[in-house]
Amino acid sequence: MKFDDLSKRVIGCAIEIHRNLGPGLLESTYEQCLAHELRCAGIPFMLQHPLPVNYKGVKLDCGYRVDLLVDNKIIVELKSVEKLLPIHQAQLLTYMKLAEIKIGLLMNFNVRFMKNGIKRMVLYFLCDLRVLRGLKKVL
């Protein structure tokens, strides 16, 4: 399944949840509901997936957890806040870099219309980063 098709299906699941529950609930509620919707749709995912920090070649467990890792291709970060802030986007981008996943979805369920609470993010330089790491090993 292509990234775009997969992200559209995940977004569809989020819209279905929002349509049924609306805004105002805890993030953990939306997380469990999204897990249920993904399971029903047959979309593979991992909930609260640990994300180690690679520091100087050592993987350290610093307690970071990705809300949902969908099919090892998309990181989904859920929020239920008044307004998405730049720090929320920075958090998702950092998770994407650490996990070397190039597609991320930031979803805020505390909005009137779910389409206004979704940001799709893409790391374009991730492929270049992998190439550079390979060159470093060769040099």
Q: What is the pLDDT of residue 124?
A: 79
Q: Among 82, 7, 93, 88, which residue's Cα sits nearest to residue 45?
A: 7
Q: State pTM to two decimals.
A: 0.86
pLDDT > 60? residue 110: yes
Q: What is the pLDDT of residue 4?
A: 86
What tens digit of pLDDT does each residue of 41-80 get? 999 999 999 999 988 989 999 999 999 999 999 999 999 9
User: For residue 86, what is the enclosing H or E element?
Assistant: helix 86-99
What does the pLDDT read at residue 37?
Answer: 98
Residue 130 has pLDDT above 80, yes or no: no
What is the token pair recorded at 38?
């993904």
Q: Which tens digit of pLDDT belongs to each residue from 1-45? A: 555 899 999 999 999 999 999 999 999 999 999 999 999 999 999
Task: Using the CB atoms, write b or e for 83-116: b if 16+ within 10 Å.
Answer: ebeeebeebbbebbebbebbbbbbbbbbbeebee
CA distance 87 to 107: 14
In this prediction, residue 138 carries a pLDDT of 47
C-alpha to C-alpha distance for 38 and 88, rounded to whole angstroms: 23
Query: What is the model's pLDDT at position 2?
Result: 59
Average pLDDT for residues 111-122, to the nearest whole number? Answer: 96
